[in-house]
Structure formats: C-alpha cells, structure tokens
Structure 1
Amino acid sequence: MQAYDRQRLERYDTSTTSYTFAQITDEDHDTQVRLDDGETFFQARLRFDRAHRHVDEEGRARYTFEMIANDEGGERRVYSKFGEVDEETFRGGEFSELVRWGRHLLAFDDRTGIVGEIRGEDYRIIPRQILMTGPGDAWQKGFKCEWATLYGNELIVGSHGKNDHQAWVKRIDPDGYKVVSEDWGQHYRRLREACGVGSDGYVTHEAVDWDPYGERWYFFPRKVSFEPFDEPVDEREKGNNRLIVADANFEDIEVRTVGEPTPERGPSSLKLVPGRPNEFLYVKSVEIGDRTESWIGAADVEGNLLAEETKLGDFKCEGIEFM
C-alpha cells in the first residue's frame, strides 16, 4: 500500500484547477458555549472555502480565493467536550492544525493536547489521542500541538520549538495508538541558526509540512525575533516571511523569503497543494490584544508569491487542509 503522505498529495492531479480547503480556529478564551440541550461544550469555527488556480499570460501560476457563504455550507461549528484546568479557568477547543490522515479529518487542540477526529453531522470531536508535553511522562500538562504532518505512514505532531519542552515532537503510528516522544531540540536549534537568530532571540513554529517526493521539510515560522520575548512587541512586529527548507536529517538547510514581511501577520499553517507539491497554501494570523484576523495566501517553494493575501475574517484560523 502506498504511504499515507503520498496518498494525501495524490488526491488531485495537475489537471485540477479548483480546490476546497478547510480551516479551523483557535479562539483561546472565547470557546466555551452552552448548547440548547443545556450541555456545555468548547466550540471552534470550521470554514470551507475554495482556491482557484490559473496560469497568467506570462505562464505563471496564480491563485484566487472564493469565500463560501455560511448559508451555502461555508462555516460550521465543531464541538469538543474536553478541557484543561488552567489557573482556575477551564479551557479547551483551541485548535491549531488540521490534517487528513487517510479517511479521517483530525484537529489538534493546543490547550489539552487532544488529537481529535471531526465526525458526524454535528461535527463533534472524538478524541483519538491525548498527547502530553515534553517527553510525555514528566509533567501533567497537555502537549501544545502547533503543527502536524504525515511522514510516511506516521503522523508527526510538533510544537513551537521555542523552549526545551516545546522542542519535542510526537510520532503516532499508522493505527493511531502508539505514541513515541522524540527530542528535536537539535533540529530546532539548526533552524534557528539558519535564520541567524542567536541565544537572545527566538523562532516559533506553527506552519510545517513534509514533502515525501523531494524528502524535504518546509518550516514557515510564525515569529522570528533577534531580541528576547516581549509580548506587545511580539504581537505587533515579529511576523515572519522566511521559509526554511531542510533535508530529512536537518543537515542541509536553506532559508528563502516569501514576499515582503507584514510585521503583525505570522504564518500559522501551511499545506502543499495535492498534485503540485512545489506550491502551497498558507494561513497567516493576527493577534494583537483582543484583535484577531486570518489571511490566506499562496506561494511556491522557491518563495514566489502566487496570490495576493486575502482576509478570511476577524477570527484566528490556525489550521488549513485540502478536502
């Protein structure tokens, strides 16, 4: 049987010109809701929109985006029953990634560490794994899932890589039951060094995908800073436009730029286009105080922009996947 990472990228071929893609939100403190039946759930938005690819007069690929109206199925709400107590608050449903794994659509909660399957007409989250932070057996804290990708038949889930316990990744076997925690501290350091960031600065990762054909990792960091973390400055000024390309062993690493930086926008998800793995869609997020926005864009792996970034709405999408 062909590996899942290749299956995912072969759902469409080069004749495809229109794609439906989904995005899921991480709305932090604003997720808790009481339904009509009196039960309390955590909710998130699940949007379905379209990307259209065409070739211009000069032979260059271009993407445009079509927002599907809510009454035509453009937006649904997904519901999770599971949360985590955090400083006297109860939080959950803060989803930071979407991945199609075979026939399953998975969402990743960065508050609880839950890997959940979106199922049924009511779009409820069915937990498949609860990932724990760091090595998995040291702290009673859910893993801060920020990115996920298929690697062969495995699912690899990662975090920001900003500190030691966020530098671990989780490798989930094809049956979805066995989890191996792996320290990627050395890999994250090499990515940071490739950006020229020293020990005073930081690089945070939320947008990552694996290309099984070229055997390359694509990291599109959300924030790159050459200075220590300062939250207001981070929110306003550290949005990134560097695309990091690494071989399978993180030995050969190259940094490319994707357009001009927009300091308040940072990439929060990236997916290679099925049938065209040299092109990708990405989502950028804005989070400044209570203000949140999401923007969609497209580029190729050399860093050439293939679309004008388009605003999705005044909410924070942090996961994108082709349907």
Structure 2
Amino acid sequence: MNEDDFSQHLLAWFDSYGRKDLPWQQNPTLYRIWISEIMLQQTQVATVIPYYQRFIKRFPDLPALACASVDEVLGLWTGLGYYARARRLHQAARIVWETHEGKLPTTLEALMELPGIGRSTGGAMLALALDQRHPILDGNVKRVLIRQEAIEHWPGQPKVEKQLWQRATTLLPQTRLADYTQAIMDLGATVCTRYRPRCPSCPVKETCQAHLQANPEAYPQPRPRKRLPLRTTCMLILLNDQGEVLLERRPPTGIWGGLWSFPECPSQTEAAPWCQEQLGWPLGEVQNWPSLRHHFTHFTLDIQPVVARIRGESRQVMEPNGRVWYKMEPLYKRGLPAPILRLLKRLREQSKGE
C-alpha cells in the first residue's frame, strides 16, 4: 500500500465510520476550530464537548473573547485543566483583535506566532476550517504512525518526532484535506486506541507493522518513568460572618497561574498565628480536614486544608490586595483549579448540613 492508497483507504473508512456530528464540525469557522483544538489538547472529546458548547455560547466570535476578562475565560475553563491553554487563548485573541483587525491569520507561519498555537494545532486549524494542506501530529496521530512503522522509541524524542512529521507529510492526500485530517484523528481515537485497539476494523492494517507483529500495544513506547517528587502545602479556608470564603489570585506564572486559590500558610499548627500576623484576624474554631492529593505532570501536591471562621471585620480585604470574599453560588464565576473546586464543593455541602 503506497501513500495514495493509505489516504484513500482512510478516507473511504471515514465516509462510513468517521465522526461528523461534533459541535465544532457544524459551521467549522477558523475561530470555532481554534477553540476546539485548544480544548482538545491532552483532553478527550467527550470531556471537551460540554465545555466547548458553554464557551461558544458565551464567546461566539473572536471579538467577544478578546473583550472578555481573563477571570471570565478561566471561569468557563474551570474543571477542564491545563489552564495555561485558556490564558494563552485569551492572550492570542487580544493580539489578533489589536494587530490583525480581529481576524485570525490564514497562514501557518502567522498562526504559530500566536500564543498557544504550535505546528500541529495550526495545521489542524487550517486543514479542518480551510482545507489547506498541512500535516498534524497530535497524540492519536502519533500512535497511528508509530504503529504503522513499528518505531521502537518513545515518540517524545526529537529524532522520532522529526521522523513522524516527515511521514505525516508524505501521507497527505492532494484533496479532501479536512476530511483526511479528521479521519486520521478519528482512527487513533476510536480504532487505533492505546489499549485494546480494534485492528480487524482498521482500514490500513495491511501496512501496519505493529499489527503484522501481532503486538500493537507494544507501541508506542511509554515515556521513561521518573519518580514524582511530593510537595506539601497547607491551605487556609477562611469564612466570614456572611458565609463567604476568602480567595486570592495566584501569580501569573507557575502552577494554576492567574487562577483563584486559598491563602497558603506554613503548616496546620501555624494556621492561627499566621492568619493573625499576615491578615490581622484572630480565628475561631479551627478544623483540620484530611489531606487532598493532586497529581501534576512533574510532581504530586499534598494539600492540607484548614477550615476556620475569622473573628472581626472582614471587608478590609478587597480586590487591590489580590484577595476577594467569594460567595459559593455559583462556583464557576472565577477560574478555580480542580482541587480548589472540590474543596469548595465540600465546604458548601458542610455549610448546608449545619
């Protein structure tokens, strides 16, 4: 099977079995495809769909996104994870609004100058929205190509990635680029899956070296494993007499950059003196909740929550200090990391039971 045969077999399969009813496939403008591609980075389609629908309803076009506050953008992203994607999306929208007359560029080079858009994302945007001829190399496509060639190396290695880009380019057809791009992503997502691939249903199994070896799950090789370091933090969940909880904005860079979280103190035993010294409030009854563990790519975070009511006037802490008193209804008004959202939900349930 040569390159033309590969693409034609794949397109024939797509015509019968490919996904054609995804929300961003309806009226697939460059803007709508852009939003979907950013959300789909490291996130499954089923998870993305409700977030995409809410996001597009609030921000139906680029001007609406560019003119919004970053807090509102992060609020709609809450729970989707990898929040740097949302910050870069918002930043890119503002750049396009200010320097490109509000219209996304239609060349790969210009798109890649925007925050958050790399070669694969930009190529997917132009192929899916404008039928331009660009290869893509997301996780699903990498897996398909690695199994086709039975490449015995971790795909994150630069030499392997270079080889995959060359192969992805060679396999591109001359026409139906949007359909082909969706087809190869669908193949990896629904047939050539990481575990238990459905090889009998694969339209290109005849040239798949991993299939011919009868060992497709051996490919791709996993990232070399490292033991993740464990970090610990103590978070203060402070309530005032109005039932509001104190949140503070995190620095713009680092974990949860720009999102809202709880103040952090050295330890649970030091919570009361720290609060008195740093915030000027004595604490009432203090509860130490069980630890909550959250896993990042490069480390694991052990969160030790301390819940307490402050004694005294709370309104001295306002926006200029990067802190706000936050009503817990609704929970999605500001950008909140997933573990903070979990703690807020638990706090809300506890408050209802009192």
Is TM-score (shorter-chain normalized) higher than 0.5? no
Higher helix proportion, which one?
2
Higher strand proportion, which one?
1
Rg (Cα) greater in structure: 2
